[in-house]
Structure 1
């Protein structure tokens, strides 16, 4: 009997953890390496939404017309500081090109393939770990000011419905029936009854980590400096001045993944879309489900520790310090939805790095030119949602039985 494959996973965020969980269950010997503890980076601070219907890419037809107005608004949901424009422009140009109608349909098909059954995949892991209480199934509610406001998103909602997203358009009375206390300004809602949310993303990640260790896997704190190669083959990683050998390496280092690929001649247009959240332990209001004021692109999510307001998109790289003013905008977003909310006692603001690619699709699967190397990064705003299905797909493709899913739309080679 052959010994189990040893797989090193670079990154112990929620994506790397779910890959590790499925590989360990499939019989692989798994080691996860991360400079932080499991889920303590970006995965700890997400909005908690599990949104399997989110197949519409960020770049939709007509996006070029919207970008200037967003950038000129100092309180807009998108912010790029002047110092970062030279670095951001190539990414933004690719982003605009991906908004061509034919490409949008290709991207939506790829996202639908990836996200199909995402809630079931999460329940599969959490049921095995005795933590189904982490997922609440009360739907999600998007808020619009009026019918004209909703009309701006018609194309995205139509695309989501095409791939099976159930939507219910509500009038003011319907919004209040679900969430009393929402501000008068929001007269129209879109309710997604089959979506869910996580009540504690950090506990979620730690639960998956304990499952990996239960199945014999190892999670170590270590900073990976480089991928180790023997000719074109990737044979391990270099971390802490030593080479750690492996049969396979899965790169799941989020926004830091591209810099580990660059020495191999693989250049991926990966950008950190810095996101913020504020936690209010006692806001005086508590919705039942995530609320999304569509004019602000923020998520207001009930969680175990209170109310989390998460959102904004800030370009600025992975090294610059947080911008406190961006986090402060989230409290304004909350007041627009709940003018009566108490914002005193807000916990210190948090910032994380969403690993975003211009065409929304993650990089996922084997790298043809470098045997032994696999990728699982770039899930953007859908890292939590896509983590469990990504883990199942990678493990199936690597260990068998081979999944029916075609991973070619997610290949790193598409950026060659």
Structure 2
């Protein structure tokens, strides 16, 4: 197979695109993967959580309140970059409609099933391909200093139990016994079925395995999807054209712009997030820890902690203010009072692809054009199941 002709062109070599390429190549499909910076983007800097406990979509009434607060300039879990673009306002309108009571919980079983499937596929992938992805059944521990916040989290955990997400309620003493390094909290909710991996290692491993099975990785940026007479004919890149009859858009938030070049509008808005990685001298945490008060996740891998939190919608792709990173460090220092977090830090920021209803778009959006985007905060969690779904669908319909 040449680097200019394939059955399928996967645009985007983040974790979703990598696993789509892997499962297609394993099925014998001729696959090209197009990306100027493979394994970059949100796949490189996220917390590495695999979280069936996040199966409640983001579009729900409580998050709508956060959105209104952000629009008015208040503080909260999300913020709006200003000036607010008309496209962002339109997206927020669709988000408000999707956040009506009860809708998110009706979607939860679908997300939980995909998340459970992905966890199985990650373990199978690591064993079959003999590649290290840093997979660890760590569990997630959500903690708060406030009983009202804990009560809200516990009610959500009870509802998640109806879709198969196990949880355990912990009082302050139980949290201290489970995670001795944590400072005083009112209690927590433990999700033992959640897991942790190294996101960069996992993405690179999926690309390596895809290439083992025949996929070709091309370091090129897609500029537009070519089509004629209602059919996909290829992709124009910054290094020349690629001929193909099937394109998979797995380019994160950039997928919307590429889809538009093919006459398709995807309701995907960039949600800018950031993380801070700091070295630590000793093991501190057994679980990944979610601080419900500050909306910050702390995940330990070997000799480093990765701190992630916050999100900004809309606006230009500019780095967050230095205060955003300082806030992550303050939260970690308060939550881990005995830890030394003074080492050299590594900062990261990037865009997550957000949909108004909080559900990923994984389907053919026009003949020969498949969307695999809109995973929001669940890209790492849902990547293998997404790749498997796409490969199964395309090969079953003999499209490739």
TM-score by length of structure 1 reads 0.88
Pick closer, same or farther for the CA change 1:254–1:104 going to 2, 3 Å: same
3-state SS, counterpart of residue 261 of structure 2: helix
Answer whether contact 1:300 1:310 (CA < 8 A) is retained: yes
Q: 1:47-74 CA deviation, whole Å, 9 max, x = no partner?
A: 1101124210112234433444456676
CA contact (8 A) 1:118 1:389 kept: yes
Cα offsets for 1:179-234 (capped at 9, x unmatched): 002111x1211111111100x21111111111111111111110101001121111
- Residue 187 of structure 1 corresponds to 186
User: Which range is displaced more, 68-77 or 326-335?
Assistant: 68-77
For residues 331-371 of structure 1, the C-alpha deviation after alignment (integer angstroms, 9 at most, x for no partner) is 1221221123323224231101111111011111212xx31
The within-5 A match list for 1:362-401 is: 362-367=360-365, 370-400=366-396
Aligned to 1:108: 108
Residue of structure 2 equivalent to 1:359 = 357
Residue 332 of structure 2 is matched in structure 1 by: 334
For 1:109-124, what aligned pairs fall within 5 Å after superposition? 109-124=109-124
What CA distance in whole angstroms lies between the structure 1 residues aligned with 2:300 and 2:163? 27
Secondary structure of 2:174 counterpart = helix
Q: Deviations over 1:72-103 (max 9, x none)?
A: 67663322133236443222221121111342
Q: Which residue of 1 aligns with 2:28?
A: 27
The count of corresponding residues between Structure 1 and Structure 2 is: 394
Distance 1:329 1:281 in 2: 17
> For the residues of structure 1 that align with 2:26 and 2:125, how far apart are their CA atoms?
10
Residues 181 and 241 of structure 1: CA distance in aligned 2, closer, same or farther (over 3 Å)? closer
Q: State the SS of the aligned residue for 1:152.
A: helix
Shift of 1:133: 5.8
The answer for the alignment partner of 1:409 in structure 2 is none
- Alpha-carbon shift at residue 154 of structure 1 (Å): 4.6
Query: What is the CA–CA distance in structure 2 between the aligned matches of 1:249 and 1:264, rounded to whole Å?
Result: 11
* 8 Å CA contact retained: 2:23, 2:391: yes
Asked if the contact 1:107–1:360 (Cα under 8 Å) also holds between the matched residues in 2, the reply is no
Structure 1 residues 280 and 71, CA, compared in 2 at 3 Å: closer, same or farther? farther
Quickly say closer, same or farther: Cα 1:56–1:155, change in 2 above 3 A.
farther
Give the root-mean-square deviation of aligned CA atoms: 2.2
Gaps spanning 5+ residues in structure 1: where?
Answer: 403-416
Indicate conservation of the 8 Å contact 2:81/2:315, yes or no.
no
Query: How many Å apart are 1:146 and its aligned residue?
Result: 3.8
CA contact 2:139–2:191 (8 Å) conserved in 1: yes
Deviations 1:229-279 (A, max 9, x none): 121111210112632111311110101000011133322221111111111
Distance in 2 between residues matched to 1:133 and 1:110, nearest whole Å: 25
Instruction: Map 1:301-340 onto structure 2 (within 5 A).
Output: 301-304=299-302, 306-317=304-315, 319-340=317-338
Contact 2:249–2:371 at 8 Å: present in 1 too? yes
Question: Contact 1:47/1:301 (CA < 8 Å) preserved in 2?
Answer: yes
User: Which residue in the other structure is 1:171 paired with?
Assistant: 171
Q: CA deviation at 1:284?
A: 5.8
**Structure 2 gap ranges (5+):** none
Q: CA deviation at 1:30?
A: 1.0
Residue 413 of structure 1 is matched in structure 2 by none
